[in-house]
Structure 1
Amino acid sequence: MNASTTATARAARKRPLPEPGQADKFNAIQKVCAVLRVLAQRSPLRLTDIADATSLNKATALRILNSLIEEGFVSRVTGAKTYELGQEARVMAVGARRSVDIAELAQPSLLRLSERSADTALLSVRSGVEALYLARSVGSNPLQPNYLQIGSRRPLGVGAGALALLVWLPDAEIEAVIEVIVPRLAKSPRITPKFLREKIATARKAGHTVLIDAAFPGMGGVGVPVRDETGEVVAALSIGAASDRIRRREAELAEMLKKEAQVLARAMAQAPKNGRGGKVG
């Protein structure tokens, strides 16, 4: 074991594994935590390195890794016999980085957007292969997308905000997401893998997403990403409205959203470090 792996092993043993005879459930939880701690400190790692760093035998370490892979907290590196943290672990990390509730920070922006557009403004975050709607503000126009409620979930790509959370991911990750969500697209037959790839290419050039009569007939939306200080997309702002209202005002709505995304990004960067953590899912 090299010096770096030795240091990782020492860190992983910060809380030693329980002695024989302690409750099995407690043992299992500590073993899982040890594996995650090792991968968080240094990855990707081989099975042998993980077993050595956690003082687990290879069979136990492999069993834990396979379970974590099924739950999305660990992934196997393509083309290599190594492991790294998975998407669900990254979602938790994003939530931990948020020093205050992002839904609370977004309220002023959502209010301004709904007032100026007269339509519904929404804040969404990624949770696995889904978009989770955390906050909204409803405008004065009588026709609103009332099917989008706080706490609603939709597959990534199904909706302007959900698409904005997908567009700026790495290409390989986008393809993996599309492969997973295909069975969930039955309720939105216009949204096919080909359709998503075309919309992704268009959005990357424009800097915003737009969907009309795709996720829901007669309704549409415009969405933009919200980035943290490192440039990572951590949320999306979107406006949902009747399709004709989106067609007429796409550029105007996109500009409004981009300005508010910058406002929200600054608010996140300036938030006190000891504030409340935001929720992802």
Structure 2
Amino acid sequence: MEMLWKVMFPPPSSLLVSVMSVASLVGVAGFGLCEVLGIHLQYSKFWTLGAQNSIRRQPIKLSSRTGMLLLYTPAFLFGVASFLLFPDGDLRLLLVQLTVTLHFFKRDLEVLFVHKYSGGTVLDSVLAISLSYFVASSMTIYSQYLTQGSPEPQMDLKYPGILLFLVGIIGNFYHHLILASLRKDGKEGYKIPKGGLFGLVICPHYLFEILVFIGITFISQTLYALCFTIGTVCYLVGRSYVTRKWYLSKFEDFPSGVKALIPYVF
């Protein structure tokens, strides 16, 4: 624990940030556990799963593009608004605002101009994920704002964080381009992706997304950013695990050596 506080700002005095740190860790990690247990957030290739379990009402379905925009846009808009809400911050706060905003802006651009769609989304799942991202965006920036004037951590990780963020966002974008290229000429359906790190893991885009959030955590060095990133890692581990199972069930020729998330390991 002593080593942790050498690389982190002291725990915030704000009860709100403390509560949301725990809630984000438990809530987002809980999504990952649900994925492993077969309770999926209904988007992408799992968008129809679970709909048959609804007895009281039919789920409200959205187009993939509309649903995905709703996932990321509130978080992006808060990032933009934060420059007005928290002006004149230090370099670390500015970097956190820039990286958070850039991450969600990139995701919106991908939704509009990169991704190819063959399914849809379910409103309940969209709202859950959108709320999670909005809270993550707002609390990451707000908790950083609360550190203004505080002594810096003994170890400054913001520059390694910038490097990790850039590697993550570029790698994530590159593998999204590969996925989009599988559906040329308007063709729908799924294929086994090839190229980049797809020969080693089926979800390299998740691996690089994890690097994005680790990079933001290194830049921020706050408890909230750490908690959300740990939760996100747990969720993407679960999601990649069930994604690999899905490919194994759909494709008899799926390479057995291709792991879920971490090359040669998992």
TM-score, scaled relative to structure 1: 0.21
TM-score, scaled relative to structure 2: 0.22
Larger Rg: 1
Q: Report which of the two has the higher share of helix.
A: 2
Q: Which has the higher contact order (CA 8 A, sep 6+)?
A: 2
Q: Report which of the two has the higher share of strand.
A: 1
